[in-house]
Amino acid sequence: MPSNHTNFIYEVKNINDDIMNFNNNIKSRKKLLDRCNFLDKSGAIVEFVKVESNIFNFNLKMIDSNLDKILSKMLYISYKEN
């Protein structure tokens, strides 16, 4: 089980309240996949904001200055593609 220290925070842009509410009410067995796909089809823009933990962020940047961005993209793609 992941901890709060490894959370990636995203901002969803280009949606209205109806799209947000419909997306948040998706309760299927594969809800993350379904939510990501619904947002994609709705024209939403999902942007990486930051890693929740400053320590984890620092450790990632010690390996590569863009590792947080690289991992955030990989994480989102893994949810979209299942």
Q: What is the 3-state secondary structure (H, E, C) of 7-60?
A: CEEEEEECCCHHHHHHHHCCCCCCHHHHHHHHHHHCCCEEEEEEECCHHHHHHH
Our measurement of the distance from residue 30's CA atom to the centroid of its chain's CA atoms, rounded to an integer in Å, reads: 15
70 has a pLDDT exceeding 90: yes
pLDDT band at 68 (very low <50, low <70, confident <90, very high): very high
Q: Structural domain boundaries of the chain?
A: 4-81
4-62 pLDDT, tens digit per residue, is 788 999 999 999 999 999 999 999 999 999 999 999 999 999 999 999 999 999 999 99
- pLDDT for residue 24: 96
69 has a pLDDT exceeding 70: yes
Q: What does the block give as tokens for 3?
A: 């901890």
Rounded distance between C-alpha atoms, residue 9 and residue 11, angstroms: 7
